[in-house]
Amino acid sequence: MAKGGNQFGNLMKQAQEMQKKMALVQEELANRVVEGSAGGGMVTAQVNGKQKLVALKIDPEVVDPDDVEMLEDLVIAAISQATTKAEEMAQEEMGKVTGGLGMPGMF
């Protein structure tokens, strides 16, 4: 019985270590930024590893008061691309910690 308790203790210790590593990775992800663009770079969006929009740049040449819909589409496309990249980056970094265990809801 003592052996089983020791194994459980080791498992708990490993889980706590993994939790600490995951917290560190989450902090690091908040400081990492990826970029998405649309319209040949006319609109660029920067998103951090926590999938928060941190910057948006729009080339003045793409601003056409008669075609606001196109600009809206470009903004959405750039943000979507950046968010997808940020999500992939976060999954990759968390996968390094979890060893690919695929623990949903952990980040």
Bridge partners (DSSP) of residue 35 are 46
Instruction: Tell me whether residue 36 is in a domain.
Output: yes
Rounded Cα distance between 70 and 89, Å, is 29
| Predicted confidence (pLDDT) per residue in 82-98, tens digit | 999 999 998 888 888 87
Higher pLDDT, 8 or 49: 49
Instruction: Please return the burial class of 93, using the count of CB atoms within 10 Å of its CB with bins 0-12, 13-18 and 19+.
Output: middle
Rounded Cα distance between 14 and 102, Å, is 16
Query: Which tokens in the block code for residue 1?
Result: 């019985």
**CATH code for position 81:** 3.30.1310.10
Instruction: Tell me whether residue 16 is in a domain.
Output: yes
Q: What's 60's DSSP letter?
A: G
3-state secondary structure of 10: helix
What is the DSSP track for 75-89?
HHHHHHHHHHHHHHH
| Predicted local distance difference test score (pLDDT) of residue 106 | 47
Number of structural domains (the chain) is: 1
| Predicted confidence (pLDDT) per residue in 32-81, tens digit | 999 999 999 999 999 999 899 999 999 999 999 999 999 999 999 999 99
Instruction: Tell me whether residue 21 is in a domain.
Output: yes
| Predicted local distance difference test score (pLDDT) of residue 26 | 84
Domain that includes residue 40, residue range: 2-98
Instruction: Tell me whether residue 93 is in a domain.
Output: yes
**pLDDT above 70 coverage of the chain, percent:** 88
